[in-house]
Structures are given as structure tokens and as C-alpha cells.
Amino acid sequence: MNKILITGANGQIGTELTVALRERYGSNQVIGSDIKRPVANHDHTFQVLDVLNKTAIQALVQDEGITEIYHLAASLSAVAEKQPLRAWELNMQGLLNVLDTAKIDQLKVFWPSSIAVFGDHAPKAFCSQHTITQPRTVYGISKAAGENWCRYYYDNYGVDVRSIRYPGLISHTAQPGGGTTDYAVEIFHQAIKNRQYTCYLKPHTTLPMMYMADAVRATLELMEAPSLGLTVRTSYNVAAMSFSPGELEAAIRKHLPAFRADYRPDFRQTIADSWPTGINDHQARHDWSWMPRYDLPDMVNDMLVRLRQEKDLR
Ligand code: NAD
């Protein structure tokens, strides 16, 4: 039976992925871990775990009989640019510690990459699976290197490691952790509370995005796909929708007519400008039948309904 360890489980993705994995495999089969205990945590299986401590990872894997690791702990794009070497250490050494543990115990691993692996020389509008990856951010550099390490561990040690290049993710449960696409979550909170939002990207900056429900489902589907059909052992492109801050503002205004956004670009504009505007996910659709369910209007509608219910926002 699967026994799963999630690293970085308190983050934007981990919060929802933990719930989904527990629904699938049972609460006692899924251990959430993070460097810090969450403020209000009643989860008796939660473990404090620093992914930079390889001995601690290996001890936990042995003690709990772990068979799969979902390795989410990382420094995201905007935070990473402020402390590049710290981000490099966390993103790279953390991954190598997990891969090396998986090699010893023949564990299955999920590790997320990002659209940040692409750079100025990759196609902008419909960015292909196999193309030039020359990222200009430390985050992108760490993801591109990580993808190659994943394939190396698969090729040389038989580690069944699977990966997705997530686009910007939009969710209503946990706050985003310092990425370039965080605006697409913040805008909802501000639209409901204040009917006003100041965006740090220009209004026409189109980026690939995905609703968290689709991202979690993609993760589970890739991990459950038969190994034989998987042709990509670096990381799969996946796509759902692309939009700009101006288009998101207009889509929210259909529900909240008084809402207005203004635009004051900061350093994150340069990061966004180096990323593609759209993703070609043909290979994921072919290899493991990936198909998104949420487009922009569906996502906006669901976000507004759920934020009003869960956060008691009006
Ligand atoms: P997040 O920043 O919300 O969460 C990361 C978590 O890692 C935090 O809870 C943090 O406390 C924890 N952490 C930090 N240092 C740690 C350490 N040394 N040991 C253990 N835990 C530590 O990030 P997220 O948005 O949930 O992203 C998870 C993964 O998905 C990352 O690899 C990220 O690069 C990738 N990703 C995210 C997005 C997105 O839009 N959220 C897009 C593409 C890829």
C-alpha cells in the first residue's frame, strides 16, 4: 500500500494536494511535512522536516515506511530573485536529497517544475515540450537543472520520478508563496474586500495559468499513469488557460461591476516578460490523457463563490 510523504505541505499547492491525496489513499497513509508547524494544526500525522537535512528525510522514510514523496518545498520566483544563492541551495540540494533517498529505497517521486524553465529564445505563444530552455531567473535555472537531475536519476538509478511544469496557479485555500503570478490570487481578495487592486504587472502581460483543482488532478493523474506510456522524464508541459491582468480584471468586473484595477509594474514585470504566453501540452495529452476542465470564466466564477463562502468575504 502507498505511504506518502509531502514536503512543503503548508504551501499553496501542498495545502490542497494533501487533502486530495488523503481522500484518495486515506488520512493515515499521507504524512504532510514542512519546515515549520502551521499555526492552527490539528493534524496528528504532520511532521516538521527540513528538506536540507538529508539524514532527517531518510530517517522519516525508514520510520514511516514511505513509498512515495511529493517534493514541493522550494523558493518561488519572486522570492528567489531576492536571495539567489539561498534559493539555489533550497531548490537544488532539497531535490537532490529527495532523489538520493528515493534511489536508496526505490521510492516513487513527484517534483514540480515550472514554465520558468523557458527563456527569451523559447517560442512565446505556443511553447513546445522540447525546446530551448535558457531561463534568466535563478528560479528558472534551478527548475531547468532539476528537470535534468530527475531524468538522470531515472536513467541511471531507475528512480520513478515524474514531473509537471506548472503554469501560474490560482487557488482559494492557501495564499501563494512569492511567485510572479501571485497577482492572480491577490486580485480576488482585494476585489471582494475593497473593489480595488494595484497590480505589479502591466495590464497586457499574458501568462499561462491554471486553476488549482486542475493542477491537483493533473498531479494525481500523472502519478497514477502507467510508467510505460510516459515518454518525458524531465517534466511535462501542461496548459489550461492564458490571460493578462487586464483580462482577469474584466472577467471579475462581470461579477463585481464596481471593481477597478490600476497597474504599477515592479521587478516582477521583467520575470514575466521572459516567460511564454501560452503552452503546447500535446505530449501530456497524448501520454497520460491530460485535459484541463477550467477556463477563465469558470475559474473566476468558482473563486468568487468559494472565497465568499470560506473566508466570509462579501
Ligand atoms: P509555497 O511557497 O506556497 O510553499 C512552499 C513550502 O515549502 C512552504 O510551506 C515553506 O514553508 C516550505 N519550505 C521552505 N523551505 C523549506 C525547507 N527547507 N524544508 C521544508 N519545507 C520548506 O510554494 P507552492 O506554490 O506550494 O509551490 C510548491 C512547488 O510547486 C514548488 O516547487 C514551486 O516551485 C512549484 N510551482 C508552483 C507554482 C505556483 O504557481 N504556485 C507554479 C509552478 C511551480
Supply the pLDDT for residue 314: 54
Is the pTM higher than 0.75?
yes
Mutate to test the pocket of ligand 1, among 16, 18, 19, 34 (most ligand atoms within 8 A of CB): 34
Judgement on whether residues 157 and 273 belong to the same structural domain of the protein? no
Give residue 308's domain range: 170-207+240-313
List the CATH number of the domain containing 32: 3.40.50.720
Query: Residue 97 forms beta bridges with which residues?
Result: none
- What distances in angstroms separate CA 57 from CA 10, 32, 97, 100, 173, one per listed residue? 17, 13, 8, 10, 27
Judgement on whether residues 148 and 180 belong to the same structural domain of the protein? no
Ligand 1 mean position to 11 CA, how many Å? 6
User: Could you say which of 25, 70, 139, 263 is catalytic?
Assistant: 139
Protein residues whose CB sits closer than 6 Å to any atom of ligand 1: 7-8, 10-14, 34-36, 49-52, 72-74, 76, 90, 112, 114, 166, 168-169, 176-179, 181
Judgement on whether residues 80 and 158 belong to the same structural domain of the protein? yes
CB 249 within 8 Å of CB 201? no
Whether residue 139 lies in the annotated active site: yes
Digits of tens for pLDDT over the chain (314 positions)?
A: 899 999 999 999 999 999 999 999 999 999 999 999 887 767 788 999 999 999 999 999 999 999 999 999 999 999 999 999 999 999 999 999 999 999 999 999 999 999 999 999 999 999 999 999 999 999 999 999 999 999 999 999 999 999 999 999 999 998 899 999 999 999 999 999 999 999 999 999 999 999 999 999 999 999 999 999 999 999 999 999 999 999 999 999 999 999 999 999 999 999 999 999 999 999 999 999 999 999 999 999 999 999 998 866 55
CB 126 within 8 Å of CB 278? yes
Q: How many CB atoms lie within 10 A of CB 82?
A: 12
Judgement on whether residues 136 and 101 belong to the same structural domain of the protein? yes
Amino acid at position 153, single letter? Y
Closest by Cα among 252, 273, 115 to 184: 252
Judgement on whether residues 152 and 178 belong to the same structural domain of the protein? no
Judgement on whether residues 137 and 104 belong to the same structural domain of the protein? yes
Q: How many CB atoms lie within 10 A of CB 293?
A: 11
Judgement on whether residues 40 and 134 belong to the same structural domain of the protein? yes
Supply the pLDDT for residue 130: 97
Supply the pLDDT for residue 159: 98
What backbone torsions phi and psi does residue 170 show, to the nearest 5 degrees? -115, 125
Judgement on whether residues 282 and 196 belong to the same structural domain of the protein? yes
Judgement on whether residues 17 and 132 belong to the same structural domain of the protein? yes
List the CATH number of the domain containing 174: 3.90.25.10
Closest Cα to atom 4 of ligand 1: 11
Ligand 1 mean position to 260 CA, how many Å? 30
Ligand 1 mean position to 79 CA, how many Å? 11
Sign of CA dihedral 95, 99, 101, 107: positive
Query: DSSP labels for the chain?
Result: ---EEEESTTSHHHHHHHHHHHHHH-GGGEEEEESS--SS---TT-EE--TT-HHHHHHHHHHHT--EEEE-----HHHHHHSHHHHHIIIIIHHHHHHHHHHHHT-EEEEEEEGGG--TTS-SSSB-SSS-----SHHHHHHHHHHHHHHHHHHHH--EEEEEEE-EEE-SSSPP-S-TTTHHHHHHHHHHHHSEEEESS-TT--EEEEEHHHHHHHHHHHHHS-GGG---SS-EE---EEE-HHHHHHHHHTT-TT-EEEE---THHHHHHTS-S-B--HHHHHHH-------HHHHHHHHHHHHHHHS---
Q: Structural domain tally of the chain?
A: 2
Judgement on whether residues 142 and 258 belong to the same structural domain of the protein? no
Judgement on whether residues 89 and 218 belong to the same structural domain of the protein? yes
Judgement on whether residues 91 and 67 belong to the same structural domain of the protein? yes
